Amino acid sequence: MKRQWKTAAAILVASTVVLSGCGIAYNDYTNADEGIDKTVFYQNIGQINDAADPSVITVGDTYYLYGTNAMGSGDTSHIRGWKSKNLTDWQPLGAVFIPARDAWAVNSLWAPEVLEKDGTYYMYYSGYDNSSGQMGIGLAVSDSPAGPFHEIEGTFGGKEYSHTKRPFDFGFPAIDASPFIDEDGSVYLYVSKDQVRRESSIFGVELSDDMVTVTSEVSGPLVKPSQEWENADTLPRWNEAPFMLKKDGTYYLFYSANYYQNSLYAVGVATSSSPLSGFVKSETNPVLHASVDWPHVSGTGHCSVFPSADGSELWMAYHSHSDVEKGGSERKLNFDRIVFDGEELLVCGPSITPQPLPSGSSPYQNVAPLATVTADGAEEGVELLTDGIVNYNVFRTEEYEYFADGKTKVTFTFDKEVSVVAVMVYDSCDYEYSASSVDLKIGKGGISKLVFNEANRYEDEYGFGVKIPGSAAIAQFEEISVTEITVTLQGDASYNEIVILGKEVAA
């Protein structure tokens, strides 16, 4: 049986210390009852603890979220929405879509996916078709991301649409619709063919500009269960929850596999040069998953991807189990960064510890990449400390982590002054190579023995070493302008990333 994990909020205790040399107090976030500074950080601690299958869109500086109801009551007669500017404080929008009483689907409303085109917000959703007795795909529209959404009505492509009849018929039961608009304006819709002969797989079609008229034959399966982690040799089996992303001419098709109530439900990705054919699954799948040995997170799946407020970063929204030991259908929502190593897509998650806010959602961003970085110990690999990749895979520590062979000073030198408010030092995701403390020199001041939270590195009741990946020693302090910061790494340990949160000082 897995060890019951305390909530992340319960293990934050703040200690206030004087930053020697300049008299600035700081929080080291070994852990505070009052929680994190939400103008700088966010944390996945289940702020929305009763929803699943998240769709997030970014409108200006606001994130809008829609999801399947995953409450104990299991009420799926409507779709709810929320909005936030910091991924932590989510304002409920209530029921943003309630079907008409005589609609083709009035229950089993799942997996809403919202996309904006020409000022109209389109919500594709799964629903139980009363006339056919199968799950199908619906479409509702609104002129506001906050809703209300209403079933599409009227004539499109010479066809009459009514709320009383399902707008899409693919010839099979379908769930988890996901729309995508390509760079040339072409529109595509991806769905999961739902448990036909006890297998789910991903298919796609092209739509016209009206967002509802199907203009191509159904293509697929684009992906179907085939990899070992997907339990591809057993029945039933799933490839579901598609989401399409395009970057530098490559199409990245996300999907989820295994069973959603199982702890090993996870996200994979397949790539192609075409939106409707030729997809090849990544050999490093799954790209987001929970290890069977982790007691702190379970069942990470059904993702959507959204940009940061300033458009410079990509983020993943996904759900995980509210009860890590129990699993099941009650789920909570989470958010983590997406980065690229060449063409390989990596997710910096699943995280449960404090992380920097999306770029544009805080006045501060990571300025470490602006600095020249040198090390007085092992120079080889020091660039890994500022590559933007926080590694969560114990088998890739040599590839993505910097090994400090003994006491090593890493110096960040800036050409121009930067105004800094926090430093985050991520240690290894491997228990064996994780660190205990570091020293900081910030301008004329310093912090001796900034410790890593012991709650993130411990031995379980069987004596097995457990490391919570993605955790950092964090020093937050009053804003200070500097041109140099030195981080002294202690002992033979491996370090994941160093993040310096600040902003350039105006000339």
> What is the model's pTM?
0.94
Return all residues near 294 (Cβ < 8 A) that are at least 6 apart.
Answer: 466, 468
Cβ-proximal residues to 121 (8 Å cutoff; 6+ apart), any chain = 57, 114, 115, 141, 142, 143, 144, 145, 149
Which residues in the chain are classed under CATH 2.115.10.20?
54-350
Helices (H), 83-202: none
Low-confidence ranges of the chain (pLDDT < 70): 1-34, 72-73, 378, 507
What separation, in Å, do the N-terminal and C-terminal C-alpha atoms of the chain show? 58
Domain 54-350, CATH? 2.115.10.20
CA distances from 176 to 66, 136, 231, 269 (A): 13, 9, 20, 16
Distance CA 163, CA 22 (A): 66
Beta bridge partners of 241: none
Q: Where in the chain is the domain with CATH 2.60.120.260?
A: 8-39+363-504
Pick the closest to residue 151 from 170, 135, 167 (CA basis). 167
Residue entry with tokens 């293990």: 11
- Whether the link from the prior residue into 295 is cis, omega within 30° of 0, is no
| CB 486, CB 474: distance < 8 Å | no
Token pair, residue 217, equals: 């034959």
Q: Give pLDDT, residue 31.
A: 44
The confidence score (pLDDT) of residue 467 equals 92
Report DSSP state, residue 398: H
Quick one: which of 255, 254, 135 has its CA closest to 195? Answer: 135
CATH class name, domain 8-39+363-504:
mainly beta
What per-residue string of b and e applies to 86-118 under the rule 16 or more CB within 10 Å gives b? bbbebeebeebbbbeeebbbbebbbbbbbbeee
